[in-house]
Structure 1
Amino acid sequence: MRTVKQLLEAKPADIFAIGPDAPVIEAIRLMAEKSIGATLVMEGARLVGILSERDYARKVVLQGRSSADTPVRAIMTADVITVTPNDTVERCMQIVTERRIRHLPVMEQGRVVGVVSIGDLVKAVIEDQQVELDQLQRYIAGAA
């Protein structure tokens, strides 16, 4: 099974983040411009939270808050679940399934080195299964 490090090596190295005091509308604009479903919330190099489209829908839209007047820190998820580059895709799939989350910041030596999404994980699982299927088919064809 592949590791998070291998996934990160195959993706652009971009890490998108916003400050906790920025208005929520800026975070939503960033996510829209970059076509991402969540953005990290950082104070300098320190990860302090994550803001997802789900946070926005539940904590701004449904509560009737103003996107322009609400700071990111008021709606972000502060208890961020992270992984390391050495974690496996299988372990990450277990985390996103159990915790019902879609994005995992990747931390190494106290700093953010990337983000993996549920889409990245599913793609890796499908690719790995296809390789295994191809190998089995070649084995069967050779054994016949």
Structure 2
Amino acid sequence: MKINDTIGILLGCRPDKKVLSIDPDHSVYEALEILAQYNIGVLLVCKDNLLVGIFSERDYARKGILGGLTSRETKVSQLMTSPVISVSPKHTVDECMTLMTEHDFRHLPVVQNDTVVGVISIGDLVKWVISGQQQTIQALEGYIAGAYPS
């Protein structure tokens, strides 16, 4: 678990590989129901199996509520962030952390051959890096204690 590992490796290690999405013509209320049901903060917005946007709780709060829009009458397409920055499974953890930090977002779709294969969060990346650091610390402690394999 290293910072130069690919996102494909990270995605392969996650138990839940389901990617949730919504059509841009659905209501914001329907999107919020899905977010609440699955206890997540973002939904990919797909039209004809192509990624066209991303909808987050932040979008709803800043563009919907503050804009005076009602969730039942507003379409996801009106509040979603588009175009979407995405990465491929070949991008590294480090590249994704840099991209997310530079653009100030917390979720990043992973796309391969125009098909969404996953979504990663900044939390996923931080956990990955911490796990790698813990493994390094354990190996160094073993080396110091003389238990390091020859």
**TM-score interval (norm. to shorter):** over 0.9
Match of 2:45 in 1: 41
Structure 1 residue corresponding to 2:93, chosen from 89, 92, 95: 89
Residues 8-53 of structure 1 show CA distances to partners (whole Å, capped at 9, x for unaligned) of 1122110100000101010011011011110000002100000011
Paired residues in the alignment total 143
- Structure 1: which 5+ residue stretches go unaligned? none
Matches within 5 A, 1:2-81: 2-11=5-14, 12-81=16-85
Q: CA deviation at 1:56?
A: 0.5
Give the percent of matched residue pairs that are identical in Structure 1 and Structure 2. Answer: 48
- Structure 2: which 5+ residue stretches go unaligned? none
Q: Distance in 1 between matches of 2:140 and 2:94?
A: 21
Matched, 1:132 2:133: no
Residues 80-108 of structure 1 show CA distances to partners (whole Å, capped at 9, x for unaligned) of 11011111111111111111111110011
Q: Distance in 2 between matches of 1:7 and 1:44?
A: 27
Q: Distance in 1 between matches of 2:109 and 2:141?
A: 37
Write the letter of the residue equivalent to 2:112: E
Consecutive aligned runs of 4 or more in structure 1 exceeding 6 Å deviation? none
Pairwise CA RMSD of aligned residues? 1.1
Match of 1:103 in 2: 107
Q: CA deviation at 1:79?
A: 1.6
Structure 1 residue corresponding to 2:124, chosen from 102, 120, 124: 120
Match of 1:142 in 2: 146
Give the TM-score normalised by structure 2: 0.92
